[in-house]
Amino acid sequence: MEMPKPSAAHQRLHVLVGEWSGEEKLSPSPWGPGGTATGRSTCRLDLDGFFVIQDYVEEKDGQVSYRGHGIFGYDAASGEYAWYWVDSMGFVPAAPSRGRWEGDTLIFTSSSPQGQGRYVYRFADDRTYHFKIENSFDGGTTYATFMEATYRKR
99 domain residue, yes or no: yes
3 three-class SS: coil
Using alpha carbons, select from 63, 56, 69, 46 the residue that is nearest to residue 20. Answer: 56
50 domain residue, yes or no: yes
Stretches where the chain sits below pLDDT 50 are none
126 domain residue, yes or no: yes
Model pTM?
0.94
29 domain residue, yes or no: yes
The CA-based diameter of the chain, rounded to the nearest angstrom, is 55
Q: How far apart are CA 39 and CA 46, in angstroms?
A: 22
* Torsions phi, psi for 8 (to 5 deg): -60, -35
114 domain residue, yes or no: yes
- What pLDDT digit, counting tens, does each position of 100-140 carry? 999 999 999 999 887 899 999 999 999 999 999 999 989 88
2 domain residue, yes or no: no
Q: What is the pLDDT of residue 120?
A: 98
Q: How far apart are CA 99 and CA 82, in angstroms?
A: 6
Q: What angle do CA 90, 149, 146 make, to 5 degrees?
A: 50
CA dihedral 13, 152, 116, 144 (to 10 degrees): -150
List, in sequence order, every residue forming a beta bridge with 133; answer none if it has no partner.
119, 147
22 domain residue, yes or no: yes
Q: What is the pLDDT of residue 31?
A: 76
48 domain residue, yes or no: yes
- Expressed as residue numbers, the domain containing 41 is 8-153
How many domains are there within the chain? 1
CA distances from 125 to 80, 92, 121, 134 (A): 23, 33, 12, 23
The CATH number for 13's domain is: 2.40.128.20
